């Protein structure tokens, strides 16, 4: 979890490419593979980097893996706003 937070912080401080690199490091052990928040972080960083289609896909995947209805709605809204098409 600390490594995930570090990826977010680096993504905002140094840009999405650095955040994605830190996220890749955090996910290397496989412990975050099915964690919806890790997918949402990756989606946000990709959207900020300009890969809106992939970001929307990841937001939808994160939504599908989220148990709470409010969180699922929020992620689906992000998917809709991330994908301009």
Q: What is the DSSP letter of 84?
A: -
Q: Are 62 and 82 in contact (CB under 8 A)?
A: no
Q: What SS3 state is found at 57?
A: helix
Spatial separation of the C-alpha atoms in residues 48 and 25, rounded to whole Å: 19
25 pLDDT exceeds 70?
Answer: yes
Q: Are 49 and 20 in contact (CB under 8 A)?
A: yes
Taking domain 2-82, whether its CATH number is 1.25.40 is answered by yes
Name the pLDDT band for 31 (thresholds 50, 70, 90): confident
pTM attached to this predicted model: 0.91
């Amino acid at each position: 979890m600390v490594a995930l937070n570090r990826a977010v912080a680096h993504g905002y401080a140094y840009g999405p490419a650095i955040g994605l690199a830190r996220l890749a490091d955090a996910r290397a052990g496989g412990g975050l593979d099915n964690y919806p928040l890790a997918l949402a972080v990756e989606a946000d960083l990709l959207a900020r980097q300009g890969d809106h289609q992939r970001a929307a896909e990841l937001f939808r995947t994160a939504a599908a893996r989220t148990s709470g209805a409010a969180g699922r709605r929020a992620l689906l809204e992000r998917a809709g706003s991330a994908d301009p098409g």
